[in-house]
Amino acid sequence: KGNGNGKGRGGGNGGSGRQGGQGFNPDSLKQARLDAETLEAQIRTRSKTSKNTGQGVAERARAMAQSSIKSHVEHELDDEDVVKYSEIFDSVQQEIKQLRVILESAEAKEKERIWLKNKGTGDLDDNKLVDGVTGDRNIYKKRGKDENVFGKRQPKPKRISFVVDVSSSMSVMNADGRLDRMVATMVMAMEALSGLEYKYRYNILGHSGDTDGFEFVSMENPPRNRKERLAVIRKVYSHATSCSSGDNTLSAGAKAVSTIVQQEGDDYFVFLISDANLESYGVTPRLLAENLLSDSRVNAFVIFIANEIEAEEMRRLMPTGRAHVVLDTAELPGLFRQIFSNAVL
């Protein structure tokens, strides 16, 4: 039996933060620390007044607090990163939401082969023998594709290559916002596809005077959080400001089309973005169109930035809706969302 008096007073002030969209909260780390500290204080106070709690409870509280903070540190950005990413994210927030809905509702293109029953010809269905005796003629079955795919999970993911222009001209001519808008378009795609890996596999490849396929994002390892997505766009800016002059639009498009089908997928898409004056590099719109259409399994699209003449020629040579031009770079994310939406549905 023991006597004891204990007094405890706890208080905490919360913080307010600006929501950047879809759970993007710049003050989340600060709030995590406050929540963790409050939890630890509450349990410590209870341990002083309860006979059934003690030192172990306080230790567990500290462990929970540290785990909570560590989780936020791993997945959130520092203050400077928050500002940079939030500006980009906010500029395409509406497009992200719209594209996400479309991606989630896209159905499988490939239909599963099953036994189709109640047919007038084919292999005899043992389960229909009695019906045959009674005069039913539809007692056969045959292999075919299941047309009823609504709501079914597709067996293989759709495979997508975003082949973006990171040439020196994108940086030099960025006064019109072309590089910034392309980066925002990449953020839109990465955010909308996040968590849908079971339905989609995507990569982001860059082409410039130095390369026809610099891998910013691989299909096997897409960015898992905003910190990793910010690292991707930083690499884009770095490459565009340091690469040699020149153009590899043609070889980049051809390479993407040939490599995307090397692994099985439900469907295949290549989206090529270029600001190049192709003819100055000896590339005609016809040659580019032939390379993009070289494999009928691949749905290839091309978007020209501020090059209307070549875009018009590409429109004539490619299937309807496959060639586009952006004269106002502010329209690039919205146009890309529209093209992407029409393609996957």
Alpha carbon of 219 to those of 127, 222, 260: distances in Å? 45, 6, 10
Per-residue DSSP letter, 278? G
- For the record, the structure tokens of 2 come out as 């023991």
Whether the CB-CB separation of 158 and 199 falls below 8 Å is answered with yes
pLDDT tens, the chain, 345 aa long: 445 454 444 444 444 333 333 434 434 444 555 555 565 555 555 555 544 445 565 566 555 555 554 444 444 556 677 788 889 999 999 999 999 998 988 866 654 455 667 777 777 776 776 666 677 777 776 666 555 544 456 789 999 999 999 999 999 999 999 999 999 999 999 999 999 999 999 999 999 999 999 999 999 999 999 889 999 999 999 999 999 999 999 999 999 999 999 999 999 999 999 998 888 899 999 999 999 999 999 999 999 997 788 888 888 898 888 999 888 888 888 888 888 888 877
The per-residue pLDDT for 272 is 97
The per-residue pLDDT for 38 is 60
The residue assigned the tokens 């890996």 is 197
Supply the pTM of this predicted model.
0.67
Burial class (CB in 10 A: 0-12, 13-18, 19+), 155: exposed
H or E, element range at 248:
none
CB neighbour list of residue 200: distance below 8 Å, 6 or more residues apart: 103, 157, 158, 159, 160, 193
The per-residue pLDDT for 341 is 82
Alpha helices, H only, 200-322 = 226-242, 249-260, 285-292, 308-317
